[in-house]
Amino acid sequence: MSKLDDEILTLMKRVTEQAILPRFRKLAEGEVEDKGGNDPVTIADKESEVLLREGLSRLDDTIDFVGEEAAHADPTILARLDSPCWIVDPIDGTRNFACGKPPFGIIIARADGGLAQSGWIYDCLSGRFCVAHRGAGALIDGERIFSRGSGKNPPVAAISLIFMEEARRQATRRHISPNYQLVDIPYCAAEQYPRLALGENDVSIFERTLAWDHAAGALWLEEAGGRVARPDGSSYRVDEWDRKGLLGAATPALWDELAARYAEM
């Protein structure tokens, strides 16, 4: 790993120890809010984002910062995704964290030109650390990782229906679900992308594609040899934050199969 990777890991560990784990299963009344649409935020999310912003600024204060909670408070911040920026999800999997269960993690990406150039994903409980830099491969805990399918027939699919409109939800159930072995989604992109690379899941469908959820994971899975793209085959871009639909797969062949079925919906 590079010096920057080591510095990011140190920052993620420190934030986990200071702002996240002390609140795990200890959230008091009033420390969990709903941002709307069953999208919770906790005091730990807010405290974590402040610490991450401070730490990343010390690493490089020449680029913008786009944090999930800051962008929720001020949507104009999303315009920064067009420029060189840090993209941060201070706690990915807040729904799980607020319920006192895993998985949840911290996600950081560094983007330029509308594309993630680097990504870091940290599992706050296990300490698993995923790293990717564009064109340089993907790592888990410092070891090179190569994505693989589960080898199961039918393939294993984790399909998120949460943010789909009802018509698309029903179409997914008719045209896609019967062709796969369905498993529960983890409600956590920091967990879903590793599952795709490590042979646990073969494919995933995401409806909502916010940059803090997907920038790092999409880059990491592609650098591992999987594929993540829009249903039409176009690349995932962080500056298309309001565009819906994203397909992820452990291998390009599995992606092609899923995309063909998706096109029939």
What percent of the chain clears pLDDT 90, i.e. is strictly above it? 88
pLDDT tens readout for residues 46-101: 999 999 999 999 999 999 999 999 999 999 999 999 999 999 999 999 999 999 99
Q: What is the pLDDT of residue 215?
A: 98
Rounded distance between C-alpha atoms, residue 23 and residue 18, angstroms: 9
| Residue 265: pLDDT over 90 | no
13-22, 47-56, 135-144, 168-177: least confident range:
168-177
Domain ranges of the chain: 3-144, 156-263
CATH annotation of 156-263: 3.40.190.80
Which superfamily does 3-144 belong to?
Answer: Fructose-1,6-Bisphosphatase, subunit A, domain 1 (3.30.540.10)
pLDDT tens readout for residues 203-234: 999 999 999 999 999 999 999 999 999 999 99
| Residue 166: pLDDT over 80 | yes
pLDDT tens readout for residues 178-208: 999 999 999 999 999 999 999 999 999 999 9
Q: In whole numbers, what is the pLDDT of the chain averaged over residues?
A: 95
Q: What is the pLDDT of residue 132?
A: 98
| Residue 158: pLDDT over 90 | yes
